[in-house]
Amino acid sequence: MWINRDLQQQLAHDKSNYIQILIGPRQCGKSSLLSYLGQQKFKEITLDDLQLRTLANEDPALFLEQNPAPLIIDEAQYAPNIFPELKRIIDEIKKKYMLSKNNIEISALFRLTGSNQILMDKKVKETLVGRATYYYLNTLSIHEIQRAFPEMAINNIMFIGGWPELYTNTNLSPIRYLNDYIRNYIEKDIVLSAGIEKQKEFHTVLGLLAARSGELLNCSSIANHSGVKSVTIKDWVSILERTKLVALLPPYENNLNKRLIKSSKIYFLDTGLLTRLQGWQEIEPFLKSPQIGHVFETLVFAEIIKFKENYNKDWKISLWRTKEGDEIDFLIENARGECLALDAKLGIHSIKPANLPHAFAKQFPQTKQLILVSFGGKKQQLSNTCLQLPITELAHYLADF
């Protein structure tokens, strides 16, 4: 079964470059998406194949002669020598079209995927600067899941996350699937490519970060609990950011207001991976646990980020919080200077209207209401200044912003 992805429109209609590079974590659906868009027009190869990888590295010109465009290259980061040859080919095409008197419409000739952002950063960006357009694909959003599976409950989505295979193959065990993912991708692929030597300590810190998703990042506290230096933890968080497993939500910056905090919050970008790292085996105990509030907040954040990436929104997303404890979970600013103020609210029917903090209302007088993103319920105006919005309708609401 094919699950339509929101990023499809961007990839299919972007005519800005001859090379499209799709990055994102393993098993999030990158190669499947490019294969679906290719529809027999593109030949597909994967550099997970050792023989093809060897040829691509040892004789990239021969490799591309044997595999001409239009071409999809899966896991392209494993053959760094191919990128200068791609650069040469594209430059020759550009030179040819510059000498032509006809207007030539650009269309993608090469589509590359990469699941290891660290290696992609090292091997690709400098070589193909100005010649490639980058896209990011994460795991499925709630919007994508419920479009394909309208009856899928939010609590199930929150527990197993957005891994496409867990929805298209119901025979898979989510626990085993995610255990394998942590062991084979996070603990091997990321750790080795980043040169992390303390693998056991890294796994410990990963679990401590999972326990703190939705909280202010305090590396000193994690250092005290793990025995790992605070500076090392900061480096590891940076690696997890680059591989798009976590994201830091920065505080809103305003030089005129010294009352605002300066610490960022940390969030995992897939709640299935998060609940697995927290150690949950069954959904019912999880739903009754103290962690569920922060996991739901993480789910709301992930939905915002996925929408932003899938639709290429030029948004600034930040945390607004004062030292006195007043807080807005998510402040979204668009290019027109308009703002949305959203709070994650784990509730359905018993949600009470809330007001924007006085300091926030004074700072953002153009923002007239607080949006409470709820676990369930229905969209309703709780008061003149407060809207309840179930998370299932969040993507539709953001589409109009």
- Examine the pLDDT at 222 and tell me if it is beyond 70: yes
Q: Are 318 and 249 in contact (CB under 8 A)?
A: yes
Kindly report the number of other CB atoms within 10 A of residue 330's CB atom.
Answer: 22
- Looking at residue 280, its pLDDT comes to 96
H/E element, 113: strand 110-114
Q: Give Cα separations from 46 to 57, 238, 314, 367 (angstroms).
A: 13, 28, 33, 49
- Looking at residue 258, its pLDDT comes to 64
What gap in Å lies between CA 126 and CA 122, rounded to an integer? 8
Q: Give the residue extent of every domain in the chain.
A: 8-136, 142-399
H/E element, 122: helix 117-123
What gap in Å lies between CA 88 and CA 94, rounded to an integer? 10
Instruction: Name the one residue in this structure whose structure tokens are 């465009």.
Output: 69
pLDDT per residue as tens digits for the range 283-305: 999 999 999 999 999 999 999 99
Q: Give Cα separations from 286 to 134, 156, 348 (angstroms).
A: 37, 11, 18
- Examine the pLDDT at 95 and tell me if it is beyond 80: yes
| Alpha carbon of residue 384 to chain centroid | 34
Could you tell me which residues come within 8 angstroms of residue 199 by beta carbon, excluding any fewer than 6 positions away?
187, 191
- Examine the pLDDT at 256 and tell me if it is beyond 80: no
Q: How confident is the model at residue 123 (pLDDT cuts 50, 70, 90)?
A: low
Cis peptide, bond prior to residue 250, ω within 30 of zero: no
Long-range CB contacts (within 8 A, 24+) of 214-217: 214/265, 214/266, 214/267, 214/293, 214/294, 214/295, 214/297, 214/298, 214/301, 215/265, 215/266, 215/294, 216/261, 216/263, 216/264, 216/265, 216/266, 217/248, 217/263, 217/264, 217/265, 217/266
**3-state SS, one letter per residue, for 248-293:** EECECCCCCCCCECCCCEEEECCHHHHHHHCCCCCHHHHHCCCCHH
- Among 401, 336, 339, smallest CA distance to 366 is for 339
**CATH superfamily assigned to domain 8-136:** P-loop containing nucleotide triphosphate hydrolases (3.40.50.300)
Q: Give Cα separations from 205 to 185, 249, 349 (angstroms).
A: 16, 19, 37
pLDDT per residue as tens digits for the range 343-391: 999 977 778 899 999 999 999 999 999 999 999 999 999 999 999 999 9
What gap in Å lies between CA 397 and CA 384, rounded to an integer? 18
pLDDT per residue as tens digits for the range 36-57: 998 778 999 999 899 999 999 9
pLDDT per residue as tens digits for the range 136-153: 999 999 999 999 999 999
- Looking at residue 104, its pLDDT comes to 64
What gap in Å lies between CA 208 and CA 226, rounded to an integer? 8
Q: Are 79 and 56 in contact (CB under 8 A)?
A: yes
Q: Are 273 and 245 in contact (CB under 8 A)?
A: yes
Report the half-sphere exposure of 31 (CA within 13 A, side-chain side): 15
Could you tell me which residues come within 8 angstroms of residue 309 by beta carbon, excluding any fewer than 6 positions away?
7, 135, 136, 137, 138
| Alpha carbon of residue 234 to chain centroid | 20
Q: What share of the chain in percent tops pLDDT 70?
A: 96
What gap in Å lies between CA 180 and CA 381, rounded to an integer? 44
- Examine the pLDDT at 190 and tell me if it is beyond 90: no
